[in-house]
Structure 1
Amino acid sequence: MTTQTILPIDRETLAALSQSNNEPAWLSTLRLEALELAGQLELPVVEKQKISRWNLDAYGSYKSSPAIQSLSELPESLQSLVNLEESSNILVQRNSSAVFQKLSAELAAKGVIFTDLNTAIQQHGELVQKYLFTAVKKDENRLAALHAALWNGGVFVYVPKNVDVELPLQAIMLSDDATATFAPHVLIIAESNSRLTYVDNYLSTDGVGLDQAVHNGVVEVFVKPGANVRFASVQHLNATNVTYRRAVVENDGRIEWIIGEMHNGNAVSETMSVLQGNGSSSDMKVICAGTNEQKLSITTKAVHFGKSSDSQMFTRAVMRDAASAIINGITKIEKGSTKANGEQTEKVLMLSPKARGDANPILLIDEDDVTAGHAASVGQVNPEQVYYLMSRGIPKSVAERLIIHGFLAPVISEIPLENVQEQLRSLMERKLGQ
């Protein structure tokens, strides 16, 4: 038995939109193929979450926002995320399109590309076409296909061989119109022996209601031999959120993920490293917070193909009210990846009796000559820790706040920009009422 899928856009409208954006034929074809797939494929299987009951149809329509000439024109809530005087490498997307971008002359002279993905397709089409939708494929499930059909704005980063980008590249993604399609695609290519730190922020204004919008985003990162990419993201959206992040790491390459999932709506995210090369490595640090009746499914995954590859996963979740979280850590070591090592830890802290957390460490090992380990815990704030702090004159509410801060600090402290660290702390305190 099959059910009819109602798509958020028809072929004619999608083709006209692609033409109005002056997209090349190969991309127009890709979008239309993906839309057809979306009508055939099923939703992804999400463990212990019935996402078919979620609002996954509110994509809205493409709305281009006017460009701004200066960061001082940003809403005040966004200005706090950037240093207006020193921000030389920054991109801002508002709803469906980029409105501001800036790259230092020094990095541009070295061949670094940092622009929105639409512009990159116009100026570097062959390079984009080589990588786009090769890590996260358009035929994986209905949501991946819909993203491939409807994505907009986004970010493209290219770092040439042996180039070290010392200062972080920063992107801000703002959704302040619930009727506008908001589906950024981030594509990063780090050539051999290059180094890059990239930081982005996803935010909604209070005018966007929880059931009014869907964010369907994809991140693809390609780490060439000996390259090192540090990817940090803080997401705080009033929307149903679906995000797939995936990195393909070659010989001696390294990917570091630092993720703060601080949404107000239901959310599914998967952050995955494919350790393709020998000596490749991945380090994932993820935190999330749930309140009210939120339902979260947060998955970290590492797939080992290369010999002597190494993966580390560290996920912490804090649940309040009647929120629930499914935290999955998956380490897959394929046959032939000898000397591989995979370690993971998942911890869930519940702040109220109705909150629920489920930590699932999973090891899938098809090779003998490897090492792997996992740890998981689900529980409430330790009363002995609270008592210890109270015995030293600290009020109970402050003691609990300090414990929560300590629980999340290992991830927050890794955020490469101090003002973004402060944003994440503020979001955490606001969400958890601490």
Structure 2
Amino acid sequence: MTVVTKLPYDKDYISQFSSDKNEPEWMSSLRLKAYDQAEALDMPKPDKTNISKWNFSQFKHAAEGAKIDSLDALPEELKVFIDGDSKPENLLIQRNQTAAYVSLSKDLADKGVILTDIFTAMRDHSELVEKYYMKDAVQVDEHRLTALHAALMNGGVFVYIPKNVQVETPIQTIFWQEDPEAALFNHVLVVADQGSELTYVENYISNNDNEQTVANIVTEVIALDNAKIDFGGVDHFAAGTTTYINRRSAVYRDATVDWALGLMNDGNTVSENITHLIGDGSSTEMKAVTVGRGKQISNITSKTVHFGKDSVGHILQHGVMTEAASSIFNGIGKIEHGATRSDAVQESRVLMLSENARGDANPILLIDEDDVTAGHAASVGRVDELNLYYLMSRGLTKRESERLVIHGFLEPVVGVLPIESVKKQLTNIIERKIN
């Protein structure tokens, strides 16, 4: 039985919102078409997780945020994400749905690099944004949540790296939901043109432990021929936020997109990280960690789809479940017919620290070609007593020993995050959650 979601906003609201943002005609039309599609489309059906009663539609839609004149005025929980001095280059901070702080080095601006909020991008670079917006990576009509996202999008960023430009300093975005009731329909579009290179890191943070709201996030990452993107992210929405996040990449000939993700939300979460290896010689490494606590339910899918010959897709995801948290890990490698000599390997492991915690690792290989390399590993269990015994024999308490084992278990992902301050912050979040 399909649950019908009554949308809280009508076409007049969407048209007015688009007009207020001075959006181009193509975007206004896309929104209205998506609104019509949303009610007809089914909800997604993540494996072994019933989300039919989760709140994805009742929320406060928009909330403006004050501009940030000085980073010194930021709360400490945000300052820890920022490397360097008080005026770092290549940084965008979105406060609620407002681009409150934007900084791009003159050198990169002179080379044609674009870092701006999604609304400014649609006005100033309309044709470029239209070329990639919900085209190569995520489509509007995949299911109800993608259509809702397209209709109600209220924030996000656009990053574009021109041909053969190598960006040596990471570009960083921080999405700060200061209003505890405001929904975030965030769209991130990152495009690396032919032969370019980029490190991009994003952080999500909120503090709504008691107020209920929604985050519906779509991130599209496009790596054209011979481009390379290192993508890092830390999600830390509070317990009151029900989250759907769809990170999707399209990788063309001899291009690479590598992911390092810390999935640290405290509320119920559906997270998808899917890479389409379209070109010959394309590759991806997808690494993700999560720590669940309380009664949180999460469904996490990492998937590589191989279209190009000699494409390589490796998945590594580790999770720790505490208290009464539960998580489903889906690792999927799909090799399409014609993707000869492709390599799809995955590993999913879950540690449970409580009798009430639950974890499930589902390795899936879908192979439609003969000349390939494919493999998977999956495990679900508790902390190894032999490891604990060894550490305790060296004078550590059981609690200290468990902490060391857990940090070591998560290190393969935490250790490769490309910004040191973000890596430290993720380590601190993990420490708080396991304690």
TM-score strictly above 0.5: yes
Deviation of the 1:123 alpha carbon: 0.5
Which letter maps to 1:140? E
| 1:257 correspondence with 2:237 | no
Q: CA deviation at 1:64?
A: 1.8
2:317 paired residue number: 315
1:296-339 per-residue CA deviation (whole Å, 9 max, x = no partner) reads: 10000000000000001000000001111000000000000000
Offset at residue 137 of structure 1 (A): 0.7
Q: Secondary structure at the match of 1:390?
A: helix
Following superposition, the deviation at residue 65 of structure 1 comes to 1.5
Q: Give the alignment of 1:341-360 within 5 angstroms.
A: 341-360=343-362
Q: Are the structure 2 counterparts of residues 19 and 65 from structure 1 closer, same or farther at C-alpha, using a change threshold of 3 Å?
A: same
Residue in 2 that maps onto 1:40? 40
- The letter of the residue matching 2:13 is T
Q: CA deviation at 1:61?
A: 2.1
Q: Deviations over 1:285-305 (max 9, x none)?
A: 000110111101000000000
Inter-partner Cα distance in structure 2 for 1:86 and 1:179: 30
What SS does the aligned partner of 1:139 have? helix
| Cα distance change of structure 1 residues 3 and 262 upon mapping to structure 2, 3 Å threshold | closer
Q: In structure 2, how many angstroms separate the alpha carbons of the residues matched to 1:148 and 1:388?
A: 53
Distance 1:211 1:366, change over 3 A: farther
Residues 149, 225 of structure 1: alpha-carbon distance in 2 compared, 3 angstrom cutoff: same
The aligned counterpart of 2:95 is 94
CA contact (8 A) 2:5 2:57 kept: no
Name the structure 2 match of 1:55: 55
Counterpart Cα distance in 2 of 1:8 and 1:273: 33
Displacement of 1:341 in angstroms is 0.5
Gaps of 5+ in 1: none
SS at match of 2:184: coil
Q: Give, as a single letter, the amino acid of the residue that structure 1 aligns with 2:41.
A: L
Asked if structure 1 preserves the Cα contact closer than 8 Å seen for 2:133 and 2:189, the reply is: yes
Residue 24 of structure 1 and its aligned partner are, at CA, apart by 1.2
Q: Which runs of 5+ in 2 are unaligned?
A: none
1:384 matched residue in structure 2: 386
Corresponding residue for 2:285? 283
SS at match of 1:283: strand
Among 249, 256, 264, the residue aligned to 1:247:
249
Amino acid at match of 1:216: N
**Residue pair 1:210, 1:265 contacting (<8 A) in 2 also:** no
Q: Is contact 1:55-1:211 (8 Å) kept? A: no
Does the 8 Å CA contact 1:68/1:100 hold for their aligned counterparts?
yes
| 1:209 CA drift (Å) | 3.0
User: Deviation at 1:211?
Assistant: 5.5
Within the candidate set 399, 405, 412, 1:403 is matched to 405
Please give the alpha-carbon distance, in whole angstroms, between the structure 1 residues aligned to 2:223 and 2:309. Answer: 16
Q: Secondary structure at the match of 2:279?
A: coil
Alpha-carbon RMSD across the aligned residues, in angstroms, is 1.2
Deviation at residue 53 of structure 1 after TM alignment? 1.5
Partner of 2:426: 424
Q: 2:140 is paired with a residue of what secondary structure?
A: coil
Q: Does structure 2 retain, via aligned residues, the 8 Å contact 1:96–1:181?
A: no
The normalised TM-score by structure 2 is 0.97
Residue identity in the other structure for 1:56: F
| Deviation, structure 1 residue 59 | 3.0
CA distances 1:372-401 after superposition (whole Å, capped 9, x unpaired): 000000000000000011111111111111
Alignment of 1:123-134 (within 5 A): 123-134=124-135
- Whether the aligned pair in 2 keeps the contact of 1:296 and 1:326 (CA below 8 Å) is yes
Query: Which of 323, 326, 331 pairs up with 1:324?
Result: 326
Structure 1 residue aligned with 2:12: 12
Deviation, structure 1 residue 178: 2.8
Instruction: Kindly provide the amino acid, as one letter, of the partner of residue 108 in structure 1.
Output: A
Structure 2: how far apart are the matches of 1:211 and 1:42?
27
Question: Which position in structure 2 is the counterpart of 1:375?
Answer: 377
SS in 1 for 2:19: helix
Structure-2 separation of matches of 1:2 and 1:244: 22
Residues in 2 aligned to 1:368 and 1:185: alpha-carbon distance in whole angstroms? 38
Equivalent residue for 1:118? Answer: 119
Range 1-10 or range 405-414, more displaced? 1-10
Query: Are the equivalent residues in 2 in contact too, given 1:210–1:240 (CA < 8 A)?
Result: no
Distance in 2 separating the partners of 1:382 and 1:164: 44
CA shift, 1:3, in A, is 4.8
Q: Which residue of 2 aligns with 1:142?
A: 144
The one of 302, 305, 330 aligned to 1:303: 305
- 1:217 corresponds in structure 2 to 217
Amino acid in the other structure paired with 2:168: E
Shift of 1:57: 2.1
* Superposed displacement of residue 417, structure 1: 0.9
* 2:189 counterpart residue number: 187
Q: Which amino acid in the other structure matches residue 6 of structure 1?
A: K
Q: Which moved more, 1:309-318 or 1:32-41?
A: 32-41
Q: Percent identity?
A: 49
8 Å Cα contact 1:210/1:264 also seen in 2: no
Q: CA deviation at 1:344?
A: 0.3
Name the counterpart of 1:85.
86
Change (3 A) 1:76 1:266: same
- Work out the number of aligned pairs and report it: 431
- Report whether the alignment pairs 1:335 with 2:337: yes
Q: 1:198, 1:231 within 8 Å by CA — same for their partners in 2?
A: yes
Q: Pick closer, same or farther for the CA change 1:211–1:302 going to 2, 3 Å.
A: farther
Note if contact 1:333-1:367 (Cα within 8 Å) is conserved in structure 2: yes
Equivalent residue, structure 2, for 1:21? 21
1:226 maps to: 226
Query: Aligned letter for 2:91?
Result: I
Q: Which amino acid aligns with 1:87?
A: P
Distance in 2, Cα, partners of 1:222 & 1:91: 20
The alpha carbon displacement at 1:171 in A equals 0.3
Letter in 2 for 1:8: P
Question: How far apart are 1:210 and its partner, in Å?
Answer: 5.3
C-alpha separation in 2, matches of 1:124 and 1:359: 43
2-side partners of 1:22 and 1:378: how far apart? 51
Structure 2 SS opposite 1:52? coil
- 93-102 or 67-76: which moved more? 67-76
1:2, 1:317 → 2: CA distance?
31
